Structure formats: structure tokens, C-alpha cells
Chain A
Amino acid sequence: MTSIATQQARAPGAAAAQAAPAGRRRLGRKGRERLAAALFLLPDGLGLALFVVLPMLLSFLLSFFQVSGFGSYEWIGVGNYERMVNDPYFWSSMGVTAKYVVLMVPTLFVVSLSLGVLMKQMLPGMSVYRTALFLPHMLSLVVVGLLWKFMLDDQTGVVNKAGGELGLGARSWLGDPGLALYAVIAVTVWYYMGYYMIIFLAGLNEIPRELYEAARIDGAGPWTSFRRITWPLLKPTSFFVLIVSTVAAITGTFDLIFVLTDGGPANGTAVAMFYIYQQAFVFGEYGYAAALGSFLVLVMVALSWLIFKATKGGRFDDE
């Protein structure tokens, strides 16, 4: 095997490998594997370094500055972080974020996993259902916000009208601080469920069918085969969905909130990201916003680490 491999050595970009000096070809299998990995990682590595990591580092650096919003920067050390510790708005926005994440992420996980499993069954008209479930995600968040603002309207909204038919009183879904966050959560789940359903479907499709056949012959019911086969083998996907939806819940919902509630009523939907956006782009406190953002990244790192631990790295094999 070794001799054949050496003979046919091909690094990524066959041409590049061909043009490489003779010495390169004599690299051992290990060396070639490393070289290949480096080349495979190069384009994304460069791009991420330049357009994501560098701006992240710059923003971290800026968190030690007082930024007027008009291009003047003044070093204030950990001043922004001290301010953060004593900022009741920020901590209340972290509270709203925590509540949002704790309620939204598990709901979204269960709903989209159930939809994925449901859509895996061979029912007539399956592609129609799949399209219907993914359709909400094709809209932009601004339009989604607008749409639901109309549907949840106090006076004319279809939700209150349907509630009226059922004998329930009209409620101010977006105007009552006790309800607004739940309304936002419902809209988020509706918007993302088709998206994560597709990801779960892709994961489900990876599970060899023979396993189910074997389980059936052993007399296992649907729940048993879900628990014994689907759930364990779906772990890499579940891990991915859990991490990505948690991160998205923390960093990505603020544009929806902008349209739906503007952070109101009474800061009821002012999640941390909304507050950070406000500091940066409404109050021009860019350095402070950068400090808050850096802290949020830290929180997410901790959360990811927890999820990583809990799922044993989300690896399919034990490597």
C-alpha cells in the first residue's frame, strides 16, 4: 500500500503537487497528510482570519478605549468593563437573554427534531409539507417582524380574532411586558423550525436503514428504535443544532426584536444583543458596546464548552 501511495502521491491541487520540488514528493505519508491539510485549510483560514478574527480582535482592543463614535479613541483601560459591572440595564438585558435562550432553544430543538423525524416517514405529499415548513425561513427577518406585528395586532390581528372566536379575551401580545417575550419566542420558533428540520433530516438520512430493520425484527417499537438508534446516531447533528441555535439565540435575534417591539414594552424584550446594538449605533458608545460584546463572547465560549462537555465533543467516533 505504501509504495502505491508514494507513487501516486497527490496533494490537494494536483497541479501544485506535481509542480512541487522532488523533495516534497519524498515526504512521508504523515508529511503529505499535513501538507494536504494545510492546503485544504488555506482559503477559509485566510478569509476567516482577515474578515472575522481580525475584526473580532480589533473590537476586543477597542473595548479598552473610550470611543466617541466620531473617530476619536482614548485609552481607558478596563473602564468599560467596570462600567459594565455596574450597569443595571446590561444585567437586566442578560436576564432577558437567559430567559429567552432557556425557553427558546429547547423548544426549537424539540419542535425541529420532531418535524425532522415526522418528515422522514414516507407519507404522501411529503415534499409539499417540507416546503411548507421551510417557507417561513425564506422571508427576511424584517418582513417576518412586520407580518407578525400585523398578526399580533391588538385590534385587528388574526391571533386576537381567533382568540375571540374561541371565547378568549383579546390580549396585547406585543404591548404587555408579561407576554411580549413569549410572542417573540413563538415567532422565532416558527421562523427557524423548518431550517433546523432540514439539518436534522440531513442527519437522519445518514443513519443506515439496516439498523432500523434489525431493530424491527428484534421487536422494537418506534420509541425504542428512536432511543436506541436515532438518538445516539444523531448526536453530531444534535450537537451542531444545539450549539448553533444557542449562539443564534444570543447574537442573532435583535433585528426581529427591532421590528416587533423595539426592545419594549418596558425593556421586556431588550435582550443583551439589542442593548449592545443600541449602545453602538444609537448612543455611539462603540467602545462600551465592544466591551459588552467581548463579554458576551466569553459567555458563549463557556456555554459552548458546557455543551461540548455534555455531548462529549459531538464526535461521531471516539477519536
Chain B
Amino acid sequence: MSSDTLAGGGPAARPTPLRGPGRRRARAGLTVLAIVVSVLSIFPVLWLITSALKPREAVTDGKLLPDDVTWENFRYVLTEVAFDRWLWNSFFTAAIITVLALFFHSMAAYALARLRFPGRDGIFVVIFSTLLITPPVILIPLFIVVREMGMLDSYAALIIPAIFNAFGIFLLRQFYLGIPRELEEAAIADGAGYWRIYRSIILPLSRPILSALSVFFFLANWNAFAWPLVATSSENLTVTQVGIASFTTQYGSNWNYILAAAVVAVIPMLMLFLFFQRQMVESIKTSGLK
């Protein structure tokens, strides 16, 4: 049973217990259901794309298909503003944050889930409690901390504070709790140290969940706005969402440009998702264990 069948949807063996004509009917029903929810989910996004092709005065006309298709919004976004720079800044910061965060979080989660040491639960509770921050409330203190470290208005300000987040540690810990202990015992019997267990057992087993997390982290930082806005002021550090915000002014907003920019900004994310999605839904048990 390879992971390919899981991701690709081939007609091989599967977990559903149904068999025979009843099963076929049920599958047809489920397929219809899947199509319906997908359409519901995607419709507003389609609407976003077609609206981005409308001239300014038609953006809010409520029609799915534009009367006149114009590429002007995309032309403006791609040529008149430093959109490439914004995208690059977002990409660069999000990529570094994602890689470092995955690495650090999986290490911490491994310790919290698989190692025995005094105060483990206490430390977990403290880490967990950082999940409960109310972001706007810590914005000003965080700004001051980062300023005192001399990092304001630099890539470091965009990257370093964004790495640390209990979400990833918590999710990974929940997954590591489920890994059968025999795997580690066997490795220890083979004489492996903890670093090697982490590298050669835990990390490979986490591939699906790390793939999902890498999409989540990248996405969250790709769309970051509040922190980059206050932490940077140089033009060459502008990230995508902060740049897009400049299309909204005191005296009216160019919704057409905002929509076009949103469409352009979603393309790299879509590619990333498609790239990772096969690994994301792979089964840990089938890929890692025999």
C-alpha cells in the first residue's frame, strides 16, 4: 500500500469498509459531495480572479463574469509599483522563518513528547501559554524589545521574532506523542543517541506533518502585515501586504488594484501547496513503518 494511492486517488485498496454496489453508490454520493463543497469553497476565489479583470467602475457590480476584460489592473500592479521587491521580501523572510521554525519546533516538540526530564509538563504548560497571547497587546512591548536589540528596520526584525511560536511546537508534540515507543527502543538498542534518533527516526516520520506546517508557516508569514508594518520603515524592506495597503488611501481605495495584487500574491502560495500536498497527506504509518 504505497502513499501514492493515498495522494493520487487511484482505485487501489482503501480504508473505507464498504464493498460492492452499495459501496459504489456511496462513493458516487461522496464524490458529488466533495465536488459541491469544493465549488462552494472556491467560488469566492473565482469571483476574486474575475473581478481583478474588471475595470475600476465594474469591480463592485456583483457580476461573476466581467463585461469587459481588462489587464490594466495587473499591468499596474506588476509594472507601476515595486511589486517584485515586495514579493521577494515576503518570499525571502517567509522562507527563512519557515525553515528555522520547523527545525527549532520539531526539536522542542521531540524533547517535550519523547524525552523524560523533570519539569517537562511545566515547561510544556509555559510554552503552551504563549499560544494565548493577544497579538495587538504585545505589539508595543515587542517593538521595544526589538528596538533595544537594535534590530528595527532590518530583515532580522522581520524574521527573528516571527520564528518563535507555540503553535508549531504544540502541533508537533501532539503528533510525536503518537509514535510507538518500540521504534526508539530499537534505535537505542542499536546504540543511537538522541540526536540520531531525532534525525533518523523522528524527522523522517514527521515528513507529512512538517510539510503541512511548512505550508502553514510560509502562508502566515507571506501574508504578514501588522508586525512588518510597525517593525520596518525602509522602502526596500516593504513586504507584500504592507505594499498592498498603500492602494488604500484616506480619500478612497483602488479595490481593482488590491484584487489584482491579491491574485498575483496567491499564485506562489498555490504552487507551494501543490508541491507539498502529496507529502502532506501521506500516511506516517505507511511511509515510515512497515
Residues of chain A having any CB pair with chain B under 8 Å: 1, 4-5, 7-14, 17, 30, 32-34, 36-38, 40-41, 43-45, 47-48, 50-56, 58-59, 62, 115, 118-143, 146-148, 150-151, 153, 155-158, 161, 190, 193-195, 198-199, 201-203, 205-209, 212-213, 215-216, 220-222, 225, 236-237, 239-240, 243-244, 247, 251-252, 254-255, 273, 276-277, 280-281, 286, 289-290, 292-294, 296-297, 300-301, 304, 314-317
Also in contact, A161 and B62, with CB within 8 A (given A251-B135, A290-B137): yes
Identify which of B42, B169, B258 contacts A132 (C-beta below 8 A): B42
Also in contact, A215 and B17, with CB within 8 A (given A33-B117, A141-B223): yes
Task: Report the minimum CB–CB distance from B286 to chain A (whole Å).
Answer: 7
| Residues of chain A with a CB closer than 8 A to B270's CB | 131, 135, 138
Task: Report the minimum CB–CB distance from B2 to chain A (whole Å).
Answer: 12
The answer to whether A244 touches B170 (Cβ under 8 A) is yes
Task: Report the minimum CB–CB distance from B129 to chain A (whole Å).
Answer: 7
Contact mask B248-260 → A, CB, 8 Å, 1/0?
0000000100110
The answer to whether B274 touches A280 (Cβ under 8 A) is no
Is B177 among interface residues, defined by CB-CB distance under 8 A? yes
Sort A-B residue pairs by CB-CB distance and give the 3 closest, nearest first: A10-B193, A293-B137, A156-B62
Q: How many A-B residue pairs have CB under 8 A?
A: 356
B253's closest neighbor in chain A, by CB? A146
B123's closest neighbor in chain A, by CB? A41
The answer to whether A36 touches B195 (Cβ under 8 A) is yes
If A17-B193, A122-B10, A247-B132 are given as contacts, then 18 extra A-B residue pairs at C-beta distance below 8 Å, sorted by A number, are A8-B193, A10-B193, A10-B194, A14-B195, A36-B193, A48-B166, A51-B146, A59-B138, A122-B5, A122-B11, A126-B8, A133-B41, A136-B42, A143-B258, A155-B62, A202-B208, A206-B284, A293-B136
The answer to whether B178 touches A206 (Cβ under 8 A) is yes
Also in contact, A202 and B175, with CB within 8 A (given A44-B108, A136-B44, A209-B15): yes
Specify which of A48, A201, A304 lies most central, judged by the most chain B CB atoms within 10 Å of its CB.
Answer: A48
B49-105 CB contacts (< 8 Å) to partner A: 51, 59-62, 64, 104-105
Also in contact, A43 and B48, with CB within 8 A (given A158-B62, A190-B41, A301-B132): no
B240's closest neighbor in chain A, by CB? A140
Contact mask B139-174 → A, CB, 8 Å, 1/0?
111101110000000000000110111110111001
Would you give 22 A-B contacts (Cβ < 8 Å), ordered by A? Answer: A1-B189, A4-B189, A12-B107, A33-B117, A38-B117, A45-B127, A52-B133, A62-B141, A122-B11, A122-B14, A123-B34, A132-B39, A135-B45, A146-B258, A150-B60, A199-B171, A205-B284, A209-B283, A222-B16, A225-B17, A251-B135, A296-B134
The answer to whether A304 touches B107 (Cβ under 8 A) is no
| Residues of chain A with a CB closer than 8 A to B208's CB | 202, 205
| Residues of chain B with a CB closer than 8 A to A30's CB | 116
| Residues of chain A with a CB closer than 8 A to B190's CB | 4
Task: Report the minimum CB–CB distance from B10 to chain A (whole Å).
Answer: 7
Task: Report the minimum CB–CB distance from B28 to chain A (whole Å).
Answer: 9
The answer to whether A129 touches B35 (Cβ under 8 A) is yes
| Residues of chain B with a CB closer than 8 A to A194's CB | 41
The answer to whether A120 touches B284 (Cβ under 8 A) is no
The answer to whether A304 touches B138 (Cβ under 8 A) is no
The complex places the Cα of A301 from the Cα of B270 at a distance, in Å, of: 36
Contact mask B262-281 → A, CB, 8 Å, 1/0?
10011001100110011011
Chain B interface residue bracket vs A: 35 or more
Also in contact, A121 and B174, with CB within 8 A (given A9-B193, A59-B141): no
The answer to whether A202 touches B136 (Cβ under 8 A) is no
Also in contact, A41 and B161, with CB within 8 A (given A135-B42, A150-B60): no
The answer to whether A51 touches B164 (Cβ under 8 A) is yes
B164's closest neighbor in chain A, by CB? A47
The answer to whether A115 touches B37 (Cβ under 8 A) is yes
Also in contact, A55 and B145, with CB within 8 A (given A10-B196, A146-B259): yes
| Residues of chain B with a CB closer than 8 A to A316's CB | 174, 177-178
| Residues of chain B with a CB closer than 8 A to A119's CB | 34, 281
The answer to whether B145 touches A54 (Cβ under 8 A) is yes
The answer to whether B17 touches A212 (Cβ under 8 A) is yes
| Residues of chain A with a CB closer than 8 A to B107's CB | 12, 40-41, 43-44
| Residues of chain A with a CB closer than 8 A to B27's CB | 121, 123
| Residues of chain A with a CB closer than 8 A to B145's CB | 50-51, 54-55, 58
The answer to whether B127 touches A151 (Cβ under 8 A) is no
Is B192 among interface residues, defined by CB-CB distance under 8 A? yes
The complex places the Cα of A252 from the Cα of B220 at a distance, in Å, of: 12
| Residues of chain A with a CB closer than 8 A to B171's CB | 199, 240, 244
Is B21 among interface residues, defined by CB-CB distance under 8 A? no
The answer to whether A286 touches B140 (Cβ under 8 A) is yes
The complex places the Cα of A250 from the Cα of B107 at a distance, in Å, of: 29
